[in-house]
Each structure stands twice: as structure tokens, then as C-alpha cells.
């Protein structure tokens, strides 16, 4: 184990092969300078490109994107993308299939992003205690998938929001070194229940009232490596 203070363990590793679609849980994955291998390497683009330069089709526009489940798989043919998407109806499409884009909306098209497309930084992390603490403020249980992290950490210690204390410091997670750069500023996407698709404005409202609209943290890779469920999380001096 690397020198430092043991602050938790990895409870889940999640990547999102297609931006804004459902998470793909993995037992372990390589981490490069551009985040988790295979994370957010595809995205669907809206036909009405907005002036703010954010062209992606997301949960802001379609609550049901969580019902589309992408996963990386072996290429079935030389021209296949290696990402298969299972639709809410149970159909399976290659992510590049015109029928999938057509199902998502008129004029929607898919785009491949070799380095991934991230709203802020390539790694995101949240602790189970943080999700529980926000749920306690709201008087309900919250699904961690609502917050779309890459790493879910079971933190040790008594802090209600442990990862806030790690900002500006480095963590070793498995054989990967990452820097915790900033708290994660949240948007209306956290209002969308990942199971039902229903929106609850109380979630973002609570974050604005109690948390400066932040929950979880963003980070970047210091040293590429590999992370896996069960790995130790060590705060470096």
C-alpha cells in the first residue's frame, strides 16, 4: 500500500460508454490521462445546436436516457463500434445504427470522441456517506446513480461529506494516482430519478440551500493505472 492515510475503499466503478445514457458497472478498469477506459467515448448530438456550445443530447432533454443501457463488447464485425445499446423496449443496436439515432429524435446523430466528452474533468468521485447525508436532509433514500460518478467510495471516518476534505490533495486508488481538483457543481440532471425518470426539484434545491450546489468531487489523473472494486483509497500527504 502506498504511504498515506487509508480513507476508504472502492464500492463501485462506473463508466458511461455513451454520454448521458445509463452507467456500465465494471469490476475493474484501466485509467489513463483521459479518465476511465471507454468512458463517455460516444455522444448523441442534437440537431438544434445551441449557441452556448453544448450540443449533446442529455437528461436535460430526455428523462428516459437512463433507460438506454450501453456496454462495451467484442466487435461483431470489422466495421462495428464495439458499443452495444439496449433500448427500453429491449432491442439491441450498435451505437452507430441509424435506427438508434432516429429513435432518439429527428435529426439526432452520433459522434465518436476518442478522448471522451466531460462537462468539467475526466474523473468524478462520490462517497456513499455523502449520498446518505443528502438523503437525510431530504428525508428519503437516494440512488447514487442519480449523481453519475465514476468512483463510488465507502469512506471511513465520521465526516458527513468526506470528499470535500480531499480537495487539493492526491489519492491513490488501486494503482492509479488522482488529484482531487474541485467540488462537483451540480445541475438539473440530479433531479432525475435514474430508475423512474421522474424529476424531483427538491434535490437540486437542497444542494443550493445547504451545499453551494455541490456534491461529490472532480479529479484528474496524476499517474495512470487501474482501479477495481474493493481497492483501498489512500489520501497522500
CA distance 59 to 144: 16
Output the pLDDT for position 1: 46
Nearest partner of 162 among 143, 180, 139, judged by Cα: 180
List of E strands, 83-192 = 83-86, 92-94, 109-112, 123-127, 151-155, 170-173, 176-185
54, 86, 112 - which closes a domain? 112
β-bridge pairing 92-94 and 109-112: unpaired
Rounded to two decimals, the pTM is: 0.92
Q: pLDDT tens-digit profile of 165-184?
A: 999 999 999 999 999 999 99
- Regarding whether 229 and 130 lie in a shared domain, the answer is yes
Lowest mean pLDDT among 10-19, 42-51, 59-68, 170-179: 42-51
- Regarding whether 139 and 92 lie in a shared domain, the answer is no
Predicted confidence (pLDDT) at residue 104 exceeds the cutoff of 60? yes
- Regarding whether 178 and 107 lie in a shared domain, the answer is no
- Regarding whether 140 and 178 lie in a shared domain, the answer is yes
β-bridge pairing 42-45 and 69-72: unpaired
Range of the domain at 87: 42-112
Predicted confidence (pLDDT) at residue 52 exceeds the cutoff of 70? no
Predicted confidence (pLDDT) at residue 53 exceeds the cutoff of 80? no
In sequence order, the 6+-apart residues with CB closer than 8 A to the CB of 121 are 181, 182, 218, 219, 220
State the Rg of the chain over Cα.
18
Work out the angle at residue 135's Cα, subtended by the Cα atoms of residues 133 and 140, and round it to the nearest 5 degrees: 150
112, 136, 157 - which closes a domain? 112
Q: What CATH number should be reported for the domain holding residue 217?
A: 2.40.33.20
Predicted confidence (pLDDT) at residue 85 exceeds the cutoff of 90? yes
Q: How confident is the model at residue 51 (pLDDT cuts 50, 70, 90)?
A: low
Burial class from Cβ neighbours inside 10 Å (0-12, 13-18, 19+) for residue 232 reads middle
Beta bridge mates, 112: 42
- Regarding whether 229 and 138 lie in a shared domain, the answer is yes
- Regarding whether 108 and 14 lie in a shared domain, the answer is no
Nearest partner of 72 among 107, 40, 31, judged by Cα: 40
> Mean pLDDT over residues 30-56, rounded?
84
- Regarding whether 202 and 105 lie in a shared domain, the answer is no
The mean of the pLDDT values for the chain is 92
CA distance 213 to 207: 4
Lowest mean pLDDT among 45-59, 160-174, 213-227: 45-59
66, 84, 112 - which closes a domain? 112
CA distance 113 to 110: 10
Grid cell, residue 168, equals 487539493
- Regarding whether 163 and 66 lie in a shared domain, the answer is no
Domain count, the chain: 2
Amino acid at each position: 500500500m502506498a504511504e498515506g492515510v487509508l480513507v476508504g475503499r472502492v464500492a463501485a466503478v462506473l463508466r458511461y460508454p455513451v454520454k448521458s445514457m445509463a452507467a456500465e458497472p465494471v469490476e475493474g478498469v484501466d485509467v489513463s490521462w483521459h479518465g476511465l477506459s471507454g468512458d463517455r467515448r460516444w455522444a448523441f448530438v442534437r440537431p438544434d445546436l445551441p449557441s452556448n456550445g453544448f450540443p449533446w443530447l442529455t437528461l436535460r432533454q430526455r428523462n428516459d436516457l437512463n433507460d438506454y443501457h450501453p456496454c462495451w463488447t467484442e466487435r461483431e464485425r470489422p466495421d462495428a463500434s464495439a458499443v452495444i445499446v439496449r433500448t427500453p423496449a429491449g432491442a439491441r443496436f450498435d451505437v452507430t445504427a441509424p435506427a438508434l439515432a432516429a429513435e432518439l429524435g429527428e435529426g439526432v446523430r452520433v459522434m465518436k470522441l476518442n478522448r471522451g466528452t466531460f462537462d468539467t474533468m475526466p474523473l468524478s468521485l462520490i462517497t456513499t456517506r455523502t449520498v446518505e447525508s443528502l438523503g437525510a436532509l431530504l428525508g428519503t433514500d437516494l440512488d447514487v446513480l442519480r449523481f453519475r460518478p465514476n468512483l463510488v467510495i465507502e469512506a471511513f471516518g465520521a465526516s458527513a461529506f468526506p470528499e470535500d476534505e480531499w480537495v487539493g490533495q492526491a489519492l491513490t486508488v488501486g494503482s492509479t494516482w488522482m488529484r482531487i481538483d474541485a467540488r462537483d457543481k451540480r445541475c438539473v440532471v440530479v433531479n432525475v430519478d435514474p430508475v423512474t425518470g421522474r424529476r424531483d426539484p427538491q434535490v437540486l434545491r437542497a444542494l443550493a440551500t445547504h451545499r453551494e450546489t455541490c456534491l461529490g468531487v472532480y479529479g484528474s489523473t496524476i499517474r495512470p493505472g487501474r482501479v477495481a472494486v474493493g481497492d483501498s483509497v489512500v489520501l497522500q500527504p
